[in-house]
Amino acid sequence: MKPTKLFLALAVAVLLGANTGNAQNLTDTYWKNPKTGDWVIGFTEKHVIYDNAVWDIMEQTERKGGYTFTISNGSETKDIKVSSTKKEERTITIDKKVSVKCSPITTSTLPDYPIRDDRQGFKDNGYRTGDSVTIVGWLKDMPAEALTAERGKEFEVAIMNILTDEQDSFYAPLDSLGRFAFKVPLLNTSQAFLDWDRSRICTVLEPDEIYFLLVDFTTGQRLFMGTDARLQNETTAHPYTWVEERMPFRQATHEEAMQFLEKSNKERAALNQELAQRLKEHPNLSQRYAEYVETSYMACQGDYLMEAAFNMPNLTLPEEYMNYVTPNTWDKLHQHPYTLSRDFSGFIYNYMTFVKRSVSESSIPAFVTIERLAEKGTITLSDKEADAIKRYEIEKDSIVALIQSLPDEEKQAVANDFNNSELVKTINTLLSRVKDDVATEIACSESLRTLASVKHTPALHDIYLARLLYALIDDLRKPLSPAVMEWMENEIQLPAAKALVMGLNDKYLALQRRDFSSASLKSSDDVKGMSDGEKILRKLIEPYKGKFILLDVWGTWCGPCKAALAKSQEEYGHLKDYDIVYLYLANRSSEESWKNVIKEYNVTGDNVVHYNLPTEQQAAIERFLGVNSYPTYKLIDRNGNILDVNADPRDLNALENLLKTMNGTKN
């Protein structure tokens, strides 16, 4: 990311006249213990920063270059005595009990610590539920533009959630001075981005710790205070270089994959050499700092190397490519908490997706899985469906053999007769009804084989399965079957992982049980028996002639579609003056999922119309419209003309301007 102008101004403020502490005035000076290197105290015009808190100055006196203060945090009062400067140091005494000789912090970040810290590793709480980190701080003297930006009056902590593979953002309100305090849920020791847009701080947060962060826009200083804030100060003073080398998103050959591996290895070697030079120049940087940076490079390289598989035919990578990735990245992944680097989450997804391909059941007919589900009681089969399953493969093979023996002009007619037979209609109806259960069953069985084929820990076993089930529920937008939930109870032991799945499942279980009858949901009976895509669409829009129609082709499985639907009511309110009918056509979405998404995001209204057409009819409409991505939006004018314009409601202002223009045009 390129630093913002605001951050650049912050970074150079110290060079443009920040108080060095040599002057008698203490305002905007911050003091460290030169023996330990820790930041101890800070003084501003009306406040004192001490013991991870901002205290109000109640009384202040000055005598011969020294100061005495009475400070209060609202519930506690302390007396502070600050001696005059001697050899650039001041003795600071708290309540006549604790005296520390302190020196001023004259750099933008805390200077290197004076003693080595050879501790290894990071806190590992076993991914326990209920843990948190306390962050207190002050964005001091923020310029006006920093407050007026989006979420400008909140402090953000962004952490990758290893269980969902999504970034979680937590916000604390800023008071009128820019101060904040809050507890952030923490699954384990985690890499975090703290108020990135303004402060540009990427660091590590450990459970049960308390950190005070000062970002002073007057002096340009960024400092951490806490009982163990050394790593946070070191990562702020010496941020690691971002890994840049990733394969361009295009189809690639195995030879190009090996070339990319070579370039990636050279970059990682260069970055490690850069780290070695930094450790040589700053010999007191802690062992944990070195571990964190090395781990970040490893995780990022692993993520990018496995991301490259998506450029390869059938997700295949050369054997020698994987002979590097597995021992040099994946096998070392388990040395630290999986949350230590944001890039571990992407690496886990990319690596396991690649491995899963090698253990896939894709070659096993869907009917085998259907029969397995029927035996387990997950689904029920009618006698007609059970008979169709037994007959289908035999009759299909017979028809294929017959077609191969026929002249070309007769082949299509025989194929059409078979595809329109009662047998095939029964099979298609069955597959449509149970496709979600089949996909879930295959995913669960493949996940265990995938785990069995790679090195992993019990924690990663549970994290991986929780991610799988979370993604299934999120994609299907309906609860898992009781059989799958029982499987989850037996397979996942980690309470946090189990709670994640159960929480999301309960949400959609409650949603599915909620009564829902809406005039917005339309039956496909109006177009029953029709097969021409244009004629089907004309029939659907016929009742709304004279109005604008915004057509949305979407699917319950489509993340961007659902993200857009989540803002439907905002869209309706914004465009309420334009006499629009919102027509939604769902692609490959089960009835339960379809209704759940509509309920979840309240995609309803007097001018809202939903269809979940049979697969063949939906496909015919999409062929007519030329749909090749989801969501696809089409604007239809008052005369029923499908316009060649950009009608994406995710840019409401642009869509409104388009409607304004059309409103001024006589049709």
Q: What percent of the chain has pLDDT over 90?
A: 72
Task: Identify the pLDDT of residue 118.
Answer: 96
Sheet of strand 221-225: strand arrangement? 179-185, 132-140, 210-216, 221-225
Segment holding 296, helix H or strand E: helix 287-307
Confidence at residue 519, expressed as pLDDT on a 0 to 100 scale? 83
Q: Counting every residue, how long is the chain?
A: 667
Residue 157 pairs in a beta bridge with: 170, 194
Q: What's the mean pLDDT in 321-345? A: 95
Residue percentage of the chain with pLDDT more than 70: 95
Using alpha carbons, select from 345, 247, 261, 335 the residue that is nearest to residue 294.
335
Residue 432 pLDDT: 79
pLDDT tens readout for residues 237-258: 999 988 888 888 778 899 999 9
Average pLDDT, the chain: 90
Whole-number pLDDT of residue 201: 97
Q: In which band, very low, low, confident or very high, does the pLDDT at 10 lie, cut at 50, 70 and 90?
A: low
- For residue 150, the model assigns a pLDDT of 66
Q: How far is CA 221 from the centre of its chain?
A: 30
- For the entire predicted model, the pTM comes to 0.84
| pLDDT grade for 11, boundaries at 50, 70 and 90 | very low
Q: What's phi and psi for 614, nearest 5 deg?
A: -55, 150
Average pLDDT over residues 72-99: 93
**Per-residue pLDDT, 157:** 97
Name the nearest CA neighbour of 285 among 116, 119, 107, 36: 116
Residue 18 has pLDDT above 80, yes or no: no
Of the pLDDT bands very low, low, confident and very high (cuts 50, 70, 90), residue 145 is confident
| Amino acid symbol at 34 | P
| pLDDT tens digits, one per residue of 84-95 | 999 899 999 999
Average pLDDT rounded to a whole number, residues 296-317: 93
- pLDDT-derived band at 307, boundaries 50, 70, 90: very high
Decide if pLDDT at 568 tops 60. Answer: yes
**In the prediction, which pLDDT does 250 show?**
79
- Measure the CA–CA gap between 415 and 409, rounded to whole angstroms: 11
Please state, in angstroms and as integers, the Cα–Cα distance from residue 547 to each residue in 101, 452, 570, 582, 633, following that order: 78, 58, 20, 10, 16
pLDDT computed for residue 431 by the predictor: 84
Question: If 0-12 CB within 10 Å is exposed, 13-18 middle and 19+ buried, where does residue 186 land?
Answer: buried
Q: Name the helix (H) or strand (E) containing 69.
A: strand 66-72
Distance CA 382, CA 370 (A): 12
Q: Which tens digit of pLDDT belongs to each residue from 440-499? A: 888 888 899 999 999 999 999 999 999 999 999 998 899 998 889 999 999 999 999 999
Per-residue pLDDT, 14: 47
Mean pLDDT highest for which of 6-10, 268-272, 411-415? Answer: 268-272
Tokens encoding 159:
């952490």
How far is residue 199's CA from residue 216's CA, in Å, rounded to a whole number? 10
User: Within 10 Å of residue 665's Cβ, how many Cβ atoms?
Assistant: 7
pLDDT at 646 over 80: yes
